[in-house]
Amino acid sequence: MWETILIGLKLVRTMIWFNIWNWMVGFWPGFQRPVVEVRQGRVRGITSVLPNGGSYHFFKGIPYAKSPTGRLRFQSPVPLQCFNQPVLNCSVEKAGFIRPCMFSSWFTEGSEDGLFLSVYTPGLPVNDLVKYPVMVFVHGGGFRTGTASEYFYDPKYLVQRGVVVVIMSYRLGPLGFLSMPSVGISGNAGLKDQVSRGVVGREIKK
């Protein structure tokens, strides 16, 4: 029993430090802030250091569809035509999709506006002509829970091997998989989210 409690406390401590670091990056993101242009606009990320001492670039919290709220709730994802800012700040993670809290099912965490993905790359298209393999990771969780957070799925060791890693979030639970055709809810919105990220995949190929 005490071992379980200690493990839980260590996990909480680690998550607190991760969130503090994530918050600090928003204020002190470092000297290199690469800007990349995609079809929807421009995104600004951060250049950081890999475990082997090399450099890599990440762009966190890129929206890949319109917010699935209001009239778009339960509907197929609607492609995002353009960002709402001239240069979108993608230096820190956005909230994942709403889901039961990992510590207690009585509470929830995340946001209904949670269709984001993060890209981690060893090179940039502006100064690197090398074509890298791309791995898109879709987290598990029984279609009910789960997260695309770097805290759980650290991509740096794959990036270190020359792989572009994309980690995405998608709709979960009833908001993602409820099916009631009689009232216009066709179902499997979460799976449609996963398929729609192919639009971003085409941008990465550039």
- pLDDT category of residue 92 using cuts at 50, 70 and 90: confident
Q: Region 25-32: what's the mean pLDDT?
A: 55
How far apart are the C-alpha atoms of 51 and 156, rounded to whole Å?
Answer: 7
Check pLDDT > 90 for residue 6.
Answer: no
Q: What pLDDT is recorded for position 10?
A: 61
Q: pLDDT band at residue 202, thresholds of 50, 70 and 90?
A: low
Write out pLDDT tens, residues 94-148: 888 888 877 777 778 888 999 999 999 999 876 667 789 999 999 988 898 888 8
Residue 77 has pLDDT above 50, yes or no: yes
Name the most confidently modeled range: 18-32, 138-152, 192-206: 138-152
pLDDT in tens, 80-91: 889 989 999 998
Task: Flag whether the pTM goes above 0.75.
Answer: yes
pLDDT of residue 27: 47
Using an 8 Å Cβ cutoff, are 139 and 148 in contact?
yes
Please, what is the average pLDDT of the chain? 83
CATH architecture designation of domain 32-205: 3-Layer(aba) Sandwich (3.40)
Nearest to 31 by CA among 19, 50, 49: 49
Q: pLDDT of 133-191, one tens digit each? A: 999 999 988 898 888 888 788 899 999 999 999 999 999 999 999 999 999 899 999 99
Distance CA 200, CA 197 (A): 5
Q: What is the 3-state secondary structure (H, E, C) of the chain?
A: CHHHHHHHHHHHHHHHHHHHHHHHHHHCCCCCCCEEEECCEEEECEEEECCCCCEEEEEEEEECCCCCCHHHCCCCCCCCCCCCCCEEECCCCCCCECEECCCCCCCEECECCCCEEEEEECCCCCCCCCCCCEEEEECCCCCCCCCCCCCCCCCHHHHCCCCEEEEECCCCHHHHHCCEHHHCECCCHHHHHHHHCHHHHHHHHC
